[in-house]
């Protein structure tokens, strides 16, 4: 068991998730943020004392054990390439990546341990399992997934909604999607199965984005110990709560 702190590179550090990651990592002595990467310096919001630099200077990043990426699809390729080149792990929560980027991720998993997930919360991992079971148990019922997020969210339907939709498909349902963008909602996913004269409703509400950041930090510690491969959140979350 390695007892030295896991050295992290945080990619997308000035964003909402990046800021939560920096704050929570600073409270954990088993983690050391060695680089905070932002799209454009200077940045005001990054916690003092953490070395930070621009995405255009990524190649010059100091040595790190695992990168955590919560940026945008256009930032995904460079951080995946850097991790593959250095032979270190990648935790990515960036949503909206293309099929081509998914294929690059799968190819990189032959060389490095990585996890890409649309949602790092334990609650959503459980919800995905419940949706699959409900879909299998309710053949022929309509399945609708309604997701709500803050007005700044770029992709729709959300990555989490699509992940829940895959679970529904595995269970035999044919999911439909609806998206709401309103105010400062962190993330709500409502899955409704509708039969004749009855409905089953499953819902997850995120009230704090720390749940995603905690899951990603936990995944980073786990990945450091793992062999190359593509892991799922449920493989890594284990006893986090
Ligand atoms: P945000 O807009 O607040 O932050 C995005 C950050 O990425 C910004 O700091 C921006 O400067 C940076 N960025 C953009 N392009 C870049 C590039 N080319 N290179 C480097 N950095 C770049 O967004 P957010 O709310 O923090 O969310 C970030 C991502 O994480 C989104 O894709 C969002 O959907 C996703 N997300 C995932 C989860 C999960 O659990 N998987 C949870 C919440 C959000």
- The reply to whether omega before 24 is within 30° of 0 (cis) is no
Nearest CA to ligand 1 atom 2: 15
Q: Which residues line ligand 1 (CB under 6 A)?
A: 11-12, 14-18, 38-39, 55, 70-72, 74-75, 93-96, 117-120, 209, 212
CB 162 within 8 A of CB 128: no
User: 3-state DSSP call for residue 225?
Assistant: coil
Structure-token pair, residue 11: 């990619």
Structure-token pair, residue 219: 């995944």
Is this complex's ipTM strictly greater than 0.85?
A: yes
Q: Checking phi first, is residue 49 left (phi over 0); if not, alpha (psi -120 to 50) or beta?
A: left
Atom of ligand 1 lying closest to residue 18 CA: 26
Q: Which residues contact 145 (CB under 8 A, 6 or more apart)?
A: 157, 161, 164, 165, 168, 175, 176, 177, 178, 189, 190, 191, 192
Distance 241 CA to ligand 1 centre (A): 25
**Roughly how many angstroms between the first and final C-alpha of the chain, as a whole number?**
21
* Residue 196: half-sphere exposure toward Cβ, Cα within 13 Å: 2
The 10s digit of each residue's pLDDT in 111-123 is 999 999 999 998 9
User: 3-state DSSP call for residue 205?
Assistant: strand
- Residue 19 backbone dihedrals phi, psi, to 5 degrees: -65, -40
What is residue 54's predicted lDDT score, i.e. its pLDDT?
83
Distance 45 CA to ligand 1 centre (A): 15
Residues with a catalytic annotation lie at 149, 153
Distance 75 CA to ligand 1 centre (A): 9
What is residue 240's predicted lDDT score, i.e. its pLDDT?
44
Q: What is the mean pLDDT of the chain?
A: 92
What is residue 235's predicted lDDT score, i.e. its pLDDT?
84
Distance 92 CA to ligand 1 centre (A): 10
What residues of the chain score a pLDDT lower than 70?
1-2, 41-48, 237-241
Atom of ligand 1 lying closest to residue 20 CA: 26
Question: What pTM does this model have?
Answer: 0.88
Query: 11 forms bridges with which residues in the sheet?
Result: 37, 69
Place of tokens 């190359």: 228
Nearest CA to ligand 1 atom 7: 71
Atom of ligand 1 lying closest to residue 159 CA: 34
What is residue 88's predicted lDDT score, i.e. its pLDDT?
98
């Amino acid at each position: 068991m390695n007892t030295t702190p896991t050295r992290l590179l945080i990619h997308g550090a000035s964003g909402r998730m990046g800021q939560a990651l920096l704050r929570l990592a600073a409270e954990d002595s088993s983690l050391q943020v060695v680089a905070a990467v932002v799209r454009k310096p200077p940045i005001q919001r990054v916690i003092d004392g953490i070395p930070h630099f621009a995405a255009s200077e990524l190649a010059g990043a100091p040595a790190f054990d695992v990168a955590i990426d919560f940026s945008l699809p256009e930032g995904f390729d460079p951080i995946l390439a850097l991790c593959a080149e250095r032979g270190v792990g990648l935790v990515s929560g960036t949503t909206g990546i293309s099929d081509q980027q998914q294929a690059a991720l799968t190819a990189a998993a032959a060389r490095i341990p990585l996890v890409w997930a649309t949602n790092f919360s334990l609650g959503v991992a459980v919800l995905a399992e419940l949706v699959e079971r409900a879909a299998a148990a309710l053949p022929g019922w309509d399945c609708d997934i309604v997701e709500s997020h803050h007005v700044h969210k770029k992709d729709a339907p959300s990555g989490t909604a699509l992940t829940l939709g895959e679970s529904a498909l595995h269970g035999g349902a044919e999911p439909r999607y609806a998206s709401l963008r309103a105010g400062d909602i962190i993330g709500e996913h409502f899955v409704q199965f509708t039969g004749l004269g009855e409905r089953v409703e499953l819902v997850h509400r995120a009230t704090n984005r720390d749940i995603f950041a905690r899951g990603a930090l936990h995944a980073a510690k786990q990945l450091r110990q793992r062999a190359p491969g593509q892991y799922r959140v449920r493989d890594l979350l284990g006893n986090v709560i």
